Chains A and B, each alone.
Chain A
Amino acid sequence: MTEPTPTAKLATQGILARARWHPLEFVFWIVAFGSIWFAPNKHLILTEIAWLALFALSLDLILGYAGILSLGHAAFFGVGSYAAALLAKHGIVTEPVLALFCAGLVAAVLGFATSFLMLRGADLTRLMVSLGVALVLRELANQFGWLTGGADGLQGVTMEPILGLFRFDMFGHNGYVYCLVVLFVLFLAARRLMASPFGLSLLAIKGNPLRARAIGIGVDMRLVAIYTIGGFYAGVAGGLLAQTTAFSSLDVFSFDRSADLLLVLIIGGTGYLYGGIIGAVIFKIMQDYLALWSPQYWPFWIGLVLVVMVLVGRDRMTRWSEPLRALVNRLDWRRTPS
């Protein structure tokens, strides 16, 4: 074995530093799991937050890391949702965890197939193609009414207990724990993946595709891979929705869902994995209050938030947390003095 060069050592250190857990992350997940006990009457909305967070996480993978602008991410969500509901309804795969995995796989296959469409063209073309795919799927789900229930939605789905042990209760306690665990496991996987050289090469592609290609990164392969993985995550999120509500409808493919998702991710910030989760929490709470306050016109306020965020500047919006982060960095006992 030859001794690695100083540059190589530095690079290895840099990669390892990215993979290291920040103290705030521990706090974050302790609070998240703590909510199982200290907020038992809020579990229904927390369940929604959990699958929305996973959905936003999947968009973060392709938008925040790979820089693919998609307005049709609901396609994968919808496919996963219908897959999970159909598997349960027809008793093909009755165990929810396994069915969830299958739903994710179906969406991943779709992600793989459509990723080749996303390789061509600039932002607008990608936008249109992704939107078109979602619309085509919505039409398909609408037309194949014998399979999907058409406009009425897929009803009569009964869910078996999770792992054969935990029943989906009407207060959503088990459902919430289930969603949270799935979110946590998939988050860990995504975190590991994005801290790897693969994740770093994606960031390079996002920064400058031409330059990335020039230093020997296989751009197309990586975009296909991350789009497929993003499809899997979104499919699992859709599956969670179908399993916790025992229902699936055309609404899962709607444009509003893709647009809302962008907002969720933007509120939390892109490109650091927690953005989607934080955004989901803020978005759901905001939506809840707005819907109470003006039931019919809450989209107006959502739109206003978007417009103001862009005008103020997204980077400035997330700067509020900087003093906090600096404080925690100072308290971090493992920090190497630089």
Chain B
Amino acid sequence: MLTILFDGIAYGMLLFVLACGLSVTLGLMNLVNLAHGAFAMAGGYVLVLLVNDLGVPFWASIVCAFFVSALIGLVMEKALYVHIYRKSHLDQVLFTIGLVFMSVAAADYAMGSSQVFARIPDALQGQIHVFGIGMGRYRLMIIAICGGLALALQYVLVYTRFGSRLRAAVDDQRVARGLGINVGSIFALTFAFGSGLAGLGGALGTEILGLDPTFPLKYMIYFLIVVTVGGTSSITGPFLASLLLGIADVAGKYYVPKLGAFVIYTIMIVVLIWRPQGLFARAANK
């Protein structure tokens, strides 16, 4: 029971790191980015390549995965995404689906279609027992890293100058522009950082989520659930939503394996009908 809770929390934390970049892009630029999972996949493959083929230490590779994905995000934002902010949602959906298809085929071409795993250092394997609860070391590490990241993000968002600018831009872009805030550059930075976080999540998640070329398609719906259920106005919303989703998914798969992913989708539809703005969001003021 507690082990399931523990696994669920680890899973949820991972989802949060994967999806929080998406929630910012959606809130800030009203951009429906279905291709977010592609950045996560890039991070995962960077980790696998570095650890398995080049023998780089695990921790260094994780950091690399973050920076590589962030770099890809930055380049993509400057080169492609800037052109579609002002277009309709239909155009954004088409564009990002196109990117998903391309990334899936490209990953298939470059890395092969089978599932890959990264070699994990011995220190992270096995379980430790605390108060009779078996906890996987790898999952414990994920909770530590992701929890730390969530706290850091909350701190940056609430207490720093950049954070207040970002919040101002999300609340009302036009007024923020009028006050001299450079929304474009804030967005570029946030997009890159969000992509980096997705890459980090993808790298950490290779062990739990599995990594193959269909990753962006398979988990797209999960990221979108986190964002739509959690709302886009804060970071706590997506955080709680991803914990909820993680626990519900793990528990659902354990207790009622026959129903599979059915539980999650039904919960999502019900929540969206009940609170279209998200479970933890204030009413929209735009």
- Chain A contacts to B: CB under 8 angstroms: 63, 69, 71, 117, 120-125, 127-129, 131-133, 135-136, 139-140, 142-143, 255-256, 259, 262-263, 266, 296-300, 302-307, 309-311, 314
Question: In the complex, A195 Cα to B101 Cα: how many Å?
Answer: 36
With A71-B93, A124-B32, A307-B80 already in contact, the answer to whether A299 and B273 are too (CB < 8 A) is no
Give a binary string over B219-247; 1 marks a CB under 8 Å from any A CB, 0 the rest: 00100110010000000000000000000
Q: In this complex, what residue of B is CB-closest to A130?
A: B269
* Pairwise interchain contact B273-A139, C-beta atoms closer than 8 A: no
Question: In the complex, A136 Cα to B265 Cα: how many Å?
Answer: 6
- Can you name 19 A-B residue pairings with CB atoms under 8 Å? A63-B90, A123-B32, A124-B89, A125-B272, A131-B221, A132-B221, A135-B261, A135-B265, A143-B259, A143-B260, A143-B262, A262-B97, A297-B105, A300-B104, A306-B94, A306-B95, A306-B98, A309-B94, A310-B94
* Pairwise interchain contact B261-A125, C-beta atoms closer than 8 A: no
Q: In this complex, what residue of B is CB-closest to A134?
A: B265
* Pairwise interchain contact A299-B105, C-beta atoms closer than 8 A: yes
Q: Which of B92, B97, B221 contacts A303 (CB 8 A)?
A: B97
Q: Interface residues of B toward A: which range? A: 35 or more
Question: In the complex, A303 Cα to B225 Cα: how many Å?
Answer: 24
Question: In the complex, A135 Cα to B268 Cα: how many Å?
Answer: 11
Q: For window 67-106 of chain B, which residues contact chain A by CB distance below 8 Å?
A: 80, 83-84, 87, 89-95, 97-106
* Pairwise interchain contact A310-B101, C-beta atoms closer than 8 A: no
* Pairwise interchain contact A300-B97, C-beta atoms closer than 8 A: no
Q: Which of B94, B228, B269 contacts A124 (CB 8 A)?
A: B228
Q: Which of B84, B94, B101, B266 contacts A136 (CB 8 A)?
A: B266
Residues of the A chain whose Cβ atoms lie less than 8 Å from the Cβ of B94: 262-263, 266, 306, 309-310
Q: In this complex, what residue of A is CB-closest to B267?
A: A132
Q: Does B172 contact A (CB under 8 A)?
A: no
What is the CB-to-nearest-CB distance from B260 to chain A, in angstroms, rounded to a whole number?
6
Question: In the complex, A159 Cα to B216 Cα: how many Å?
Answer: 39
* Pairwise interchain contact A127-B32, C-beta atoms closer than 8 A: yes
* Pairwise interchain contact A129-B269, C-beta atoms closer than 8 A: yes
Question: In the complex, A142 Cα to B91 Cα: how many Å?
Answer: 32
* Pairwise interchain contact B101-A306, C-beta atoms closer than 8 A: yes
With A124-B32, A296-B108, A307-B80 already in contact, the answer to whether A139 and B102 are too (CB < 8 A) is no
Q: In this complex, what residue of B is CB-closest to A297?
A: B105
* Pairwise interchain contact B108-A307, C-beta atoms closer than 8 A: no
Question: In the complex, A5 Cα to B146 Cα: how many Å?
Answer: 70
* Pairwise interchain contact B93-A127, C-beta atoms closer than 8 A: yes
Residues of the A chain whose Cβ atoms lie less than 8 Å from the Cβ of B99: 303, 307
Residues of the A chain whose Cβ atoms lie less than 8 Å from the Cβ of B269: 117, 129, 132-133, 136
Q: Does B26 contact A (CB under 8 A)?
A: yes
Q: In this complex, what residue of B is CB-closest to A266?
A: B94
Q: Which of A133, A143, A314 contacts B91 (CB 8 A)?
A: A314
Question: In the complex, A306 Cα to B265 Cα: how many Å?
Answer: 28
Interface majority SS (helix, strand, loop, mixed), chain B: helix
* Pairwise interchain contact A303-B102, C-beta atoms closer than 8 A: yes
Residues of the A chain whose Cβ atoms lie less than 8 Å from the Cβ of B97: 259, 262-263, 303, 306
Q: Does B217 contact A (CB under 8 A)?
A: yes
Q: Which of B258, B260, B276 contacts A122 (CB 8 A)?
A: B276
Residues of the A chain whose Cβ atoms lie less than 8 Å from the Cβ of B103: 303
Question: In the complex, A120 Cα to B273 Cα: how many Å?
Answer: 7
What is the CB-to-nearest-CB distance from B198 to chain A, in angstroms, rounded to a whole number?
19
Question: In the complex, A142 Cα to B260 Cα: how many Å?
Answer: 10
Question: In the complex, A140 Cα to B224 Cα: how many Å?
Answer: 21
Question: In the complex, A55 Cα to B245 Cα: how many Å?
Answer: 34
* Pairwise interchain contact A304-B102, C-beta atoms closer than 8 A: yes
Q: Does B255 contact A (CB under 8 A)?
A: no
Q: In this complex, what residue of A is CB-closest to B258?
A: A143
Give a binary string over B102-126; 1 marks a CB under 8 Å from any A CB, 0 the rest: 1111101100000000000000000
A69, A71, A125, A132: most-surrounded residue (chain B CB, <10 A): A132
Extra inter-chain contacts (4) besides given A131-B221, A259-B101, A303-B100, CB under 8 Å: A125-B272, A128-B225, A303-B101, A306-B95
With A120-B276, A129-B273, A303-B101 already in contact, the answer to whether A139 and B95 are too (CB < 8 A) is no
* Pairwise interchain contact B262-A139, C-beta atoms closer than 8 A: yes
Q: State the 7 A-B residue pairs at the shortest beta-carbon distance, nearest first.
A: A306-B98, A303-B101, A300-B105, A121-B276, A303-B102, A307-B98, A310-B95
What is the CB-to-nearest-CB distance from A225 to chain B, in angstroms, rounded to a whole number?
20
* Pairwise interchain contact A304-B228, C-beta atoms closer than 8 A: no
* Pairwise interchain contact A300-B102, C-beta atoms closer than 8 A: yes
Q: Which of A121, A124, A297, A311 contacts B83 (CB 8 A)?
A: A311
Residues of the A chain whose Cβ atoms lie less than 8 Å from the Cβ of B273: 117, 120, 129
Q: In this complex, what residue of A is CB-closest to B98?
A: A306
Question: In the complex, A310 Cα to B83 Cα: how many Å?
Answer: 9
Give a binary string over B252-286; 1 marks a CB under 8 Å from any A CB, 0 the rest: 00000011111001101100110010000000000
Q: In this complex, what residue of B is CB-closest to A124?
A: B32
Question: In the complex, A142 Cα to B259 Cα: how many Å?
Answer: 10
With A71-B93, A135-B221, A310-B91 already in contact, the answer to whether A128 and B98 are too (CB < 8 A) is no
Q: In this complex, what residue of B is CB-closest to A314?
A: B91
* Pairwise interchain contact A310-B262, C-beta atoms closer than 8 A: no
